[in-house]
Structures are given as C-alpha cells and as structure tokens.
C-alpha cells in the first residue's frame, strides 16, 4: 500500500487546528500519525472565541479543486 495524504481539522476548547498528515489508509495508522504530529508541537492553533456566543456567526467551508483524488492541496 502507498501512503495517502489526509486533511485533519480539530476544534476543541475554543481552539482550532488544520493540518495534513501522510500515512497508510488504516484507522490505527491515521490515529498514530495524528498523535505523532500533535507530539511534535509544530501545529499552529488559532483561537476561535467562545463557541456559544450568540453575537458571533460562523461559516465554515472546504474548498475542493476539480473534485480530484488529491483535493487536500
């Protein structure tokens, strides 16, 4: 099997991270790759603000270019 690139988005505790990992296509492999990346400490976390604040409206989207196999780049 060849490694694939996956886009990982994490939103927790009013923080947000968006990064790519490259690993084999299996649940344990993906989980281990995410944990390894988190352990490196090179992920940029952004503050989202209070999630339940009624004054804040959030729109999220993901851009897909031509719907190809490698839509994460």
> What was the pLDDT predicted at 1?
75
> What was the pLDDT predicted at 57?
63
> What was the pLDDT predicted at 59?
58
Distance CA 39, CA 35 (A): 6
> What was the pLDDT predicted at 36?
95
Query: 4: closest CA among 41, 28, 29?
Result: 29
Report how far apart the first and last C-alpha atoms of the chain are (Å, whole number): 21
> What was the pLDDT predicted at 33?
93
This prediction's pTM: 0.66
Low-confidence ranges of the chain (pLDDT < 50): none
Query: 11 has which bridge partners?
Result: 16
């Amino acid at each position: 099997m060849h490694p694939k690139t996956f886009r990982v988005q994490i939103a927790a505790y009013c923080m947000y991270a968006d990064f790519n990992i490259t690993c084999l296509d299996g649940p344990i492999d993906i989980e281990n790759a995410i944990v390894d990346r988190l352990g490196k400490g090179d992920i940029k976390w952004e503050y989202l603000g209070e999630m339940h604040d009624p004054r804040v409206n959030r729109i999220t989207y993901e851009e897909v270019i031509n719907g190809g196999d490698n839509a994460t780049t």
